[in-house]
Amino acid sequence: MSILLQSDGVSLKRSNRLLVNNVSVNLAAGELVGLVGPNGAGKSTLLNLLAGLVKSDSGTVLLDNKNINKISLQQKSQRLAWVAQSGPVNWPLTVERIIALGRRPHLSAWQKLSREDKAAIEYAIAATDCEALRHQDATTLSGGERTRMLLARAIAAQPKVLLADEPIAALDLKHQLQTMQLLRKFAMQDKACLVVLHDLSLAYRYCDRLYLMNEGSIVAEGQPCDVLSHEHLQSVYGVEVVKGDGELPYIIPVREL
């Protein structure tokens, strides 16, 4: 399996706090990888570093085995898409136009949308169930609808690597399942997806691999059943859980320790 994105000992310090501490992760083609951990563990910061949006203090990030800071912004944006946790929408554009912005990395300044561009946009709209929202003013969407729209924007870009920050946190149950299936399907097309999740049951069920992060470091990685062990959950989250490892795995927090 070819590695599409990897970090090698990246660290980031801000105002004397080590936000990300010597983290090495990798994403191979065909993989859906989950990044889990408590609030403030550094998951979003790590995602920013992996997307090349923030420069690390030490260590390197490689996209297609090339240093991500040495690739042109346009080439990078064609291969890698990043979805913010709660991105702003500053003008009342229609949802369709926002999703179409996903094609910008592939277009020069004056180029019009080609038939392939339009097909990619249509696929993204259908895959994220945004058809009904299509002509709505994007600034009037609910939190969950906006998350779906922003994910559609990223899907429309047809990247090789997708980094999504809590894409299902604001979604209803149906759209949570739909989005996880979409990410699975995305990864199966020989692409890679790293997704930050708080729902450990869905992470367990859908992800091929998990990274468990705490206080800026990766404390466990591997198969969901190994990463989400009682010991790890107790030491990292400080809670006791009830857990089922069967066909439909579940993790329910019981009480604080």
Which residues of the chain form contacts with another protein (CB under 8 A)? 48, 51, 53, 73-74, 76-78, 80-82, 84, 87-94, 97-98, 101-102, 104-105, 107, 109-110, 150, 153, 157
Q: Residue 26 or 48: which CB sits closer to another protein?
A: 48
Contact assessment for residue 204 and residue 228, using Cβ atoms and an 8 Å cutoff: yes
Least Å from the CB of residue 59 to another protein = 20
Q: Residue 161 or 233: which CB sits closer to another protein?
A: 161
Least Å from the CB of residue 73 to another protein = 5
Q: Residue 3 or 93: which CB sits closer to another protein?
A: 93
Q: Residue 9 or 92: which CB sits closer to another protein?
A: 92
Q: Residue 100 or 203: which CB sits closer to another protein?
A: 100
> Measured on CA atoms in the order 145, 147, 151, 156, is the torsion positive or negative?
positive
Least Å from the CB of residue 44 to another protein = 11
Q: Residue 48 or 214: which CB sits closer to another protein?
A: 48
Least Å from the CB of residue 47 to another protein = 10
Q: Residue 80 or 220: which CB sits closer to another protein?
A: 80
Least Å from the CB of residue 93 to another protein = 6
Least Å from the CB of residue 105 to another protein = 5
| 217-222 and 161-165 beta bridge pairing | unpaired
Structure tokens at 150: 């922003």
Long-range contacts of 250-254 (CB under 8 A, 24+ apart): 250/201, 250/204, 251/200, 251/201, 251/204, 252/201
Least Å from the CB of residue 166 to another protein = 15
Q: How far is Cα 62 from Cα 39, in angstroms, rounded to an integer?
A: 26
